[in-house]
Amino acid sequence: MIKVIVAKDYEDASDKAFEVFKEFIKPGKVLGLATGSTPLGLYARMVKDHKENGTSYKDIKSFNLDEYVGLPITHPESYYAFMHRNLFDQIDIPEESTHVPSGLGEDLEGQAKKYDEMIDACPVDCQLLGIGSDGHIAFNEPGTSFTSGTHVTDLAESTIKDNCRFFDNDISKVPTQAVTQGIGTIMKAKNILLIATGANKANAVKAMLEGPIDEACPASILQKHASVVVIVDEPAAALLQNK
Ligand code: PGA
């Protein structure tokens, strides 16, 4: 079941996302975390809440969705570095409780399988998601099997273009592959919180919520999940028939 909340703008969407996510910021919980522009407002609120109210992450674990293949973790655009910069280094979560898939190593598929095993042993209480302009979730591009586990994947041309802004607007610098939790992995999370803001997400939001459940729109599988909250701002909700 999907509950849709329409927010006014990005800041309002981030406030509303924090209201939902904070229910899971409790000892013993496992958080599923995401990168990209979308969760930054939520992470800023989590940091503020930690600093002002002392909300602790000492007994919380986290699993991230994905990582670029071939970028060292010291590269500022690696998702490992992104998570440390924007969240982990500003809260009290122990390093060993955080997990970001590794995009480096000889046996990426073997490592991906181990990542799924770790998640199976530690089920995610709430998975945070953004959505790509092509309907992708994590790096599961259109056509990815709904039953996929964590795997290595090629990035779609549109995703490489979308992410170019993080690599000096130089398309040749954008990695072309990633390790990503699969759609099957994501669907195992007990709860899902997806945030979509901005007019460039309107088509994907419509396909996710009102289109057929089809691998052409990876996010459409969420219609089958038992507990999803989707927070959209007005521009991202613009094409919805049922608001
Ligand atoms: P964005 O990316 O948050 O940077 O818009 C979302 C996504 O591609 O999943």
Reported as a single tens digit per residue, the pLDDT across 81-121 is 999 999 999 999 999 999 999 999 999 999 999 999 999 99
Report pLDDT for 162: 86
Residue 159 has pLDDT above 90, yes or no: no
Q: Quick one: which atom of ligand 1 is closest to the CA of 34? A: 9
Residue 215 has pLDDT above 80, yes or no: yes
Mean pLDDT (whole number) for 174-203: 98
Dihedral angle of Cα 30, 215, 111, 72, to the nearest 10 degrees: -90
Q: Best mutation site among 131, 155, 233 for ligand 1, i.e. most ligand atoms within 8 A of its Cβ? A: 131
| Residues lining ligand 1, Cβ inside 6 A | 36-38, 130-132
Ligand 1 centre and the CA of 35: distance in Å?
Answer: 7
**101 close to 64: Cβ distance less than 8 angstroms:** yes
Q: Taking Cα atoms as reference points, which of 56, 70, 62 lies closest to residue 27?
A: 56
Query: Exposed/middle/buried for 212, CB within 10 Å: 0-12, 13-18, 19+?
Result: exposed
Average pLDDT score over the chain: 97
Dihedral angle of Cα 54, 58, 63, 64, to the nearest 10 degrees: 40
Ligand 1 centre and the CA of 39: distance in Å?
Answer: 9
Q: Quick one: which atom of ligand 1 is closest to the CA of 198? A: 5
Residue 168 has pLDDT above 90, yes or no: yes
Residue 54 has pLDDT above 90, yes or no: yes
Percent pLDDT > 90 in the chain is 97
pLDDT tens per residue across span 55-77? 999 999 999 999 999 999 999 99
Q: Quick one: which atom of ligand 1 is closest to the CA of 39? A: 3
Dihedral angle of Cα 5, 6, 8, 12, to the nearest 10 degrees: 20
- Known catalytic residues? 66, 134, 136, 141
Report pLDDT for 214: 98
Report pLDDT for 193: 99
Percent pLDDT > 70 in the chain is 100
Q: Taking Cα atoms as reference points, which of 209, 216, 95 lies closest to residue 144?
A: 216
Residue 243 has pLDDT above 90, yes or no: no
Ligand 1 centre and the CA of 36: distance in Å?
Answer: 5
**151 close to 180: Cβ distance less than 8 angstroms:** yes
Q: Whose CA is nearest to atom 2 of ligand 1?
A: 36
Ligand 1 centre and the CA of 202: distance in Å?
Answer: 13
Report pLDDT for 92: 98
Assigned token pair, 27: 């000892």
Number of Cβ within a 10 Å radius of residue 118: 13
